Amino acid sequence: MAIFDNLGKYRNTGLLLMRIGLGIMFIVHGFPKLAGGPAGWEQLGGSMKVVGVNFLPVFWGFMAAVAETFGGFLLIVGLFFRPACISLVFTMIIAALVHFGKGDGLGEASHAIELGIVFLGLIFIGPGKYSVDKK
């Protein structure tokens, strides 16, 4: 539609909006996990069993909480953007596998799968002009 043709000029604004929205939601979602302490991290890290990792659940849980919380912050500012997206893709893969492992099916796993696809795409696109990592 002709009315939307000019929006292509604002790609970097669109990327910024996406980064801010996703980043805020991941901070909101990840911070309680980070603040949960070792007991919460152990439970969260136990999710790694779906890929055969049965050791150091506290470490893996802490890393997942850090990936979500600080990954969200890094998305917002566009700093270490691609490494943050890679860690979030991995986190979303594990989250989807946990849902499948519980027998939840595609409906429950879809949110993690969708976000994983978004982060995978962002790895290729980059953070855009309005970021610390801008080129």
Q: Does a structural domain hold residue 58?
A: yes
Q: Is 83 part of any domain?
A: yes
pLDDT at 52: 86
pLDDT for the residue 87: 97
Both tokens of residue 44?
Answer: 């969260």
Residue 50 near residue 94 (C-beta atoms within 8 A)? yes
Q: Can you give the pTM of this predicted structure? A: 0.91
Tally the domains of the chain. Answer: 1
- Give residue 81's domain range: 26-125
* pLDDT at site 135: 63
The chain-wide mean pLDDT, for the chain, equals 93
Helices of type H across the chain: 11-35, 37-45, 57-77, 81-101, 106-125
Model confidence pLDDT, tens digit, residues 57-105: 999 999 999 999 999 999 999 999 999 999 999 999 999 999 998 888 8
User: Which residues have C-beta within 8 Å of that of residue 95, sequence separation ≥ 6?
Assistant: 47, 109, 112
User: How far is Cα 58 from Cα 102, in angstroms, rounded to an integer?
Assistant: 21
Whether 130 is covered by a domain: the verdict is no
- More reliable by pLDDT, 52 or 22: 22
pLDDT at 29: 95
Residue 69: inside a domain? yes
Q: Is residue 97 a part of any domain in this protein?
A: yes
99 in a structural domain:
yes
Question: φ, ψ for residue 105 (rounded to 5)?
Answer: 85, 180
Please state the rounded mean pLDDT for residues 26-43: 95
Q: Could you give phi then psi for residue 129, rounded to 5 degrees?
A: -70, -35
- pLDDT at 8 (0 to 100): 82
Q: What is the mean pLDDT of residues 126-134?
A: 90
Residue 5, domain member (yes or no): no
Average of per-residue pLDDT across 125-132: 94
CB-based contacts of 123: which residues, under 8 Å, 6+ apart?
A: 82, 85, 86, 89
Look up residue 33 and give its two tokens.
Answer: 């996990």
Is 17 inside any structural domain? no
